Amino acid sequence: MTSTASTAVPPLLAALDLLRIELHGEVAHVELDRPAKRNAINDTLVAQIHAAFAGLPAAVRAVVLSGSGAHFCAGLDLSELSERSVAEGILHSRSWHAAMDQIQFGRVPVVAVLHGAVVGGGLELASAAHVRVAEAGAYYGLPEGQRGIFVGGGGSARVPRLVGVACMTDMMLTGRVLDADEGQRRGLSNYLVGPREGLAKGLELARKIAGNAPLSNFAVMQALPRIADLSQSDGLFVESLMSAIAQGDDAAKERVRAFLDKRAGKVVPQ
């Protein structure tokens, strides 16, 4: 991060030593900080990710998630993988689920900035974000099939929603690695930028997201993925409820008035 943090980080967040957290007004930057390990996720880091997203200051309205060093995240730290019983394995997986759910279904939208390795648990982490910006050198892999294990951090539920079951099956069975271009075409990223341009783009998008009405952001985060899992008739009913709730919010009413009074811009190509 090249710019200077504009707000002091609360002590509880500052104490998370495997993360680097900076606050810039309404945008928080959460950076995985294990560059010597390619930001591989051990038990401590997954707990700190959970704590960071659960403990965001009330003023934060969007988050940028990135990785320090040459890679976003190389996945599960296999050097700390111990032999577990079935019960212990379930609890370990559920701890990841809790952390990833705190990202996807937490309080504010998250923009992930991807570079270098986005592999295994790193791809599971990225898939929990709401918007993904990839740099040209990013690459994606799911090597669990070659390691004799299976995804356990939510990947089987989230990654197929981005690339489809067939693509994820291929990646896990054959070890296929997708480069940044193919990842963009298949939906792993929403934006593709040049080397070292990801963080600036991520911050730009996060600031734009932070400017939305909070209830609208909440509806997109919480209602939209659930509606997609419903039957069409049930989904439409839930949509009508969420639409009514959102338009009844005072912030929404003011934004509609601003548009009608020509104080807000129209939709134009970007």
Mean pLDDT over 177-205 rounds to 98
Q: What is the pLDDT of residue 78?
A: 83
Q: Which contiguous run of DSSP H or E holds residue 63?
A: strand 62-67
Rounded to whole angstroms, the Cα distance separating 269 from 98 reads 38
pLDDT tens by residue, 5-30: 568 999 999 999 999 999 999 999 99
pLDDT tens by residue, 154-189: 999 999 999 999 999 999 999 999 999 999 999 999
Long-range CB pairs of 142-146, under 8 A, 24+ apart, other chains included: 142/168, 142/171, 142/172, 143/75, 143/119, 143/175, 144/120, 144/172, 145/172, 145/173, 145/174, 145/175, 146/175
Q: What is the pLDDT of residue 263?
A: 60
145 band by pLDDT with thresholds 50, 70 and 90? confident
Which amino acid is located at 18 in the chain? L
pLDDT surpasses 90 at 265: no
CATH code of the domain occupying 11-210: 3.90.226.10
Q: Which of 83, 124, 204, 254 is catalytic?
A: 124
Backbone angles phi, psi at 186, to 5 degrees: -85, -10
pLDDT tens by residue, 78-131: 877 767 889 999 999 999 999 999 999 999 999 999 999 999 999 999 999 999
Rounded to whole angstroms, the Cα distance separating 95 from 106 reads 15
Q: Which residue has the higher pLDDT, 202 or 6?
A: 202
Rounded to whole angstroms, the Cα distance separating 35 from 219 reads 35
What is each CA distance from 156 to 142, 159, 166, in whole angstroms?
11, 6, 12
Residue 88 bears catalytic tag: no
CATH code of the domain occupying 214-260: 1.10.12.10
Q: Which of 22, 31, 135, 144 is catalytic?
A: 144
Question: Do 11-210 and 214-260 agree at the fold level?
Answer: no
Which amino acid is located at 266 in the chain? K
> Cα 148 to the chain's mean position, in Å?
26
Residue 144 bears catalytic tag: yes
Task: Specify the DSSP class assigned to residue 132.
Answer: E
Q: Minimal CA–CA distance to 203: which of 97, 58, 73, 64?
A: 64
pLDDT tens by residue, 42-77: 999 999 999 999 999 999 999 999 999 999 999 999
Mean pLDDT over 221-237 rounds to 96
pTM of the model: 0.91
Q: What is the residue extent of each domain of the chain?
A: 11-210, 214-260
